[in-house]
Structure 1
Amino acid sequence: MPSFSGLLIITAVAFGAPFVLGLAPRVRLPAVVLEIVAGIVVGPSVLGWVHVDQTIAVISTLGLAFLLFLAGLEIDFSRLRGRVLRLTALGYGLSFAIALVVAAGLKAAGLADAPLLVAITLAATSLGVLIPVLKDAGESTSTLGQVVIAAGSIADFGAIILLSIFFTGEGGTGATLLLIGSLLGLALVVLIAVRGAERSMRIRADLLRLQDTTAQIRVRGAMVLLVGFAAIAQSLGLEAILGAFAAGAILTLLDADEVMTHPQFRRKLEAIGFGFFIPVFFVTTGVRYDLDALLASASTVVMVPIFLAALLAVRGLPALLYRRLLGPRQALIAGLLQSTSLPFIVAATAIGLDLGVVDAATSAALIAAGLLSVVIFPATGLALLRAGAEPRTPPPVAEETPLVAM
């Protein structure tokens, strides 16, 4: 029978982490870091209050799917074109090339047993972490913000595709590529079919009538899309997160008007995801974290700063390509921001552990490096951004007109 006792502690931690940070606004720490650290504390590694049972495992899996779904929803396809697309795509290609060299060096040094998986992991960017940071800084619509979001979108999608091809697909690389092509083809069919259906005035009127009632019809439709594509990807022998990400991308293309006819739609989806499922995933990540494996030897602890430096090199160096578009200072800031990675590291290392290609120590060190990247890189990038901002000139004060005696 499902148990709610462990889930109660996890949801309490998920509530407490951002609440405590809200009481100290000067502490610029992403809530996800505190959620994972608190999960480690209440988990088996420290206090032992919570163990991952079936209830927690299911909700955590949905949280990961929701995180990738919302990441796909954030892709702005209208901006993924022209010079920005060329630069960010070239940047990801360069990132992966650097990652392969770095991973080969780690393998030679005895720090990584699966260099290809490590390379794919290092080349990813946490779009789900960066978007709130950019929004809070008012940069999500700026040129810098759009370049970082475009680069993160390509890195997320590329990492998921590569992970599916080399590690989660069944029947070899050729068969996996065929399956991924089938999934993308199905996505195109669904996109065309739904767009055709929305041209019907009767269907459109029905959606408008039901969208803000207890039916919440648009939200239910989004859930069908999310679960449907995750299930299809899994049934094809691919990773469910690929289906979830594809579902978010499809919804982005379908929801072209965004706020014109349903202004609360995306906010409702974010409320479901960030209000419950996603924080449960992050706290559960902490509960599952093997702190003993990290602290078992000095060599494992030393791997953490090495992996952190590798993240900065793999994703930061290609940002030099953005210099002509952004300028040297903002290119440096973009490099720091796109070096931030955590959710994909968690997912990739979990898959590596299941397949037996990554040991617990490497997984723990990679996740620790990801935590540090979330703490250090966005804060440093935003500090540089604020330091380089031009001071605003106050508006001139109008001179008072002296009263003339009558």
Structure 2
Amino acid sequence: MIALQIALVLLATKVAGQISVRLGQPSVLGKILVGILIGPAILGWINENEVIKTFSEIGVLLLMFLAGLETNLKTLNDNKKAALLVATGGIVAPILLGYVGAQIYNFSLAESIFIGLLLSATSVSISVQTLREIGWLKSKEGSTLLGAAVLDDVIVVILIAVALSVFAGSDTNLALLITKKILFFVLVILASKWLVPIFIKLFSNFKVTETILSAGLIVAFSFAYFAESLGVAGIIGTFFAGIAISQTRFKKEMENRVEPLANGFFVPFFFTSIGLNVTFSSIEDQIGFVIIFSFIALLSKFVGSGLGAKVSGFSNTSSMGIGAGMISRGEVALILATMGLESKLLPADYYTSIIMVIIITTIVTPPLLKLFFGLKEDRLYENKMNAKL
């Protein structure tokens, strides 16, 4: 049975992606929507199980690993101030608007603050794939988005921990939490500079098959495990693993090895799994809530992060594109929603509706990025023509 599900997921995502491209949209959009179609929400052909969940987790880790491999470290460093402003705007605005929206629905103080924090999360994995498709991942805008997403993840996790400690009686040690985050970045930077190049070079001399690919995956998954053990998302770990290897002479070969494995098999399960989380049961009474909070979720990131980009010196179009790229809450918010449910900071009656809001933010991100950025070649041509005029 699982073999049939694997075949169906791969077939459905590729066909849906092709249809999406033919309609002028990024293939990511079709891949997410087809998950809703074949999942419990409509046809019910596939339900999330441990195999699909595991493949999905590997897929998103490899997706961010590729993003790291394709990231220009100098460009990322040059845009760190802009990334900080984008991340800050993308956290403050959702917290404020989310709190106000929750208060309208008579949520308690603790619940309202948690809703705001939940909406301040960002999952850049969807944006990464879209930017790769339209040719903007290696741009200044793409680097700023990636940097902002990393900062957003760290800051929001710390704020969530504070909320759990204050409102849910968690025994979280805030000083220890922050120390772990700092320790992660310090050790990852040191390992990236001194250990990773030596390890990859040593492994490349082995007289066995696919040594470069194996070495890269060992580094990526080790970084992911280390990140998660210190309270940082695994995707941040694989992203930095990609950056570390991109500084070696094995960068291009690693990309050529990893991309077929990721996009040919594992990544489609990640996109499909997003759609599998959708269910329309028992939601008809909360349609208004879903609409209002979807609007809050979209507007807060778009305006907050967009203003941060504008203050950093980006053009109006680029600022709107960056704001759009920060909208997706994806798997990060799904995890936080589950934490909120378990700690009773997210009312159980609204859990499904919040999941719907998260899914909506994920679905709208690819077409918005395409709208504001367009294809890289098209924008370059447009800029040249404008310069001539």
User: Under a length normalisation based on structure 2, what TM-score does the superposition of the two structures give?
Assistant: 0.79
What residue is the counterpart of 1:45 in the other structure?
41
Tell me if structure 2 keeps the 8 A contact 1:95–1:314: yes
Gap change, CA 1:356 and 1:47, over 3 Å in 2:
farther
| Distance of 1:357 and 1:275 partners within structure 2 | 39
Q: What stretches of structure 1 of length at least 5 have no aligned partner?
A: 394-406
| Per-residue Cα deviation, 1:194-219 (whole angstroms, up to 9, x for no partner) | 15736xxxx83x54455xx8532222
Tell me if structure 1 keeps the 8 A contact 2:56–2:269: yes
Gap change, CA 1:234 and 1:26, over 3 Å in 2:
closer
What residue is the counterpart of 1:22 in the other structure?
18
Shift of 1:374: 2.0
Tell me if structure 2 keeps the 8 A contact 1:70–1:128: no
SS in structure 1 of the partner of residue 74 of structure 2: coil
Q: Does 1:221 align with 2:215?
A: yes
| Distance of 1:73 and 1:138 partners within structure 2 | 15
| Per-residue Cα deviation, 1:292-347 (whole angstroms, up to 9, x for no partner) | 2544433234233343233322323323214xx44344434444444455444444
- Identical aligned pairs, as a percentage? 16
Query: Which stretch of structure 1 is more off in the superposition, 333-342 or 311-320?
Result: 333-342
Gap change, CA 1:209 and 1:219, over 3 Å in 2:
same
What residue is the counterpart of 2:259 in the other structure?
270
Gap change, CA 1:195 and 1:269, over 3 Å in 2:
closer
Q: Which amino acid aligns with 1:272?
A: L
| Distance of 2:149 and 2:321 partners within structure 1 | 19
Tell me if structure 2 keeps the 8 A contact 1:219–1:265: yes
Gap change, CA 1:42 and 1:10, over 3 Å in 2:
farther
| Distance of 1:74 and 1:226 partners within structure 2 | 14
Q: Does 1:100 align with 2:90?
A: no
Q: Where in structure 2 are the equivalents of 1:333-352 lying within 5 Å?
A: 333-340=321-328, 342-352=330-340
Shift of 1:149: 1.8
Query: Which stretch of structure 1 is more off in the superposition, 187-196 or 149-158?
Result: 187-196
Q: Which amino acid aligns with 2:97?
A: V
Gap change, CA 1:305 and 1:283, over 3 Å in 2:
same
SS in structure 1 of the partner of residue 275 of structure 2: helix
- RMSD across aligned C-alpha pairs, in angstroms? 3.5
Gap change, CA 1:391 and 1:207, over 3 Å in 2:
same
| Distance of 2:252 and 2:82 partners within structure 1 | 33
Q: Does 1:156 align with 2:146?
A: no
What residue is the counterpart of 1:181 in the other structure?
182
What residue is the counterpart of 2:52 in the other structure?
56
Q: Which amino acid aligns with 2:280?
A: L
| Distance of 2:282 and 2:236 partners within structure 1 | 31
| Distance of 2:240 and 2:335 partners within structure 1 | 19
Gap change, CA 1:60 and 1:271, over 3 Å in 2:
same
| Distance of 1:389 and 1:139 partners within structure 2 | 15
Q: What stretches of structure 2 of length at least 5 have no aligned partner?
A: 165-170
SS in structure 2 of the partner of residue 89 of structure 1: helix
Tell me if structure 2 keeps the 8 A contact 1:92–1:123: no
What residue is the counterpart of 1:34 in the other structure?
30
Shift of 1:261: 4.7
Shift of 1:78: 0.9
Tell me if structure 2 keeps the 8 A contact 1:44–1:51: yes
Query: Which stretch of structure 1 is more off in the superposition, 380-389 or 39-48?
Result: 380-389
| Distance of 1:289 and 1:24 partners within structure 2 | 20
Gap change, CA 1:111 and 1:298, over 3 Å in 2:
farther
Shift of 1:189: 4.2
Q: Does 1:291 align with 2:288?
A: no
Aligned residues: 370
Gap change, CA 1:195 and 1:297, over 3 Å in 2:
closer
Q: Does 1:89 align with 2:84?
A: yes
SS in structure 1 of the partner of residue 172 of structure 2: coil
Q: Does 1:374 align with 2:362?
A: no
What residue is the counterpart of 2:167 in the other structure?
none
Q: Does 1:321 align with 2:311?
A: yes
More helix as a share of residues: 2
Of the three residues 326, 345, 348, the one matched with 1:357 is 345
Shift of 1:391: 6.6
Shift of 1:350: 4.5
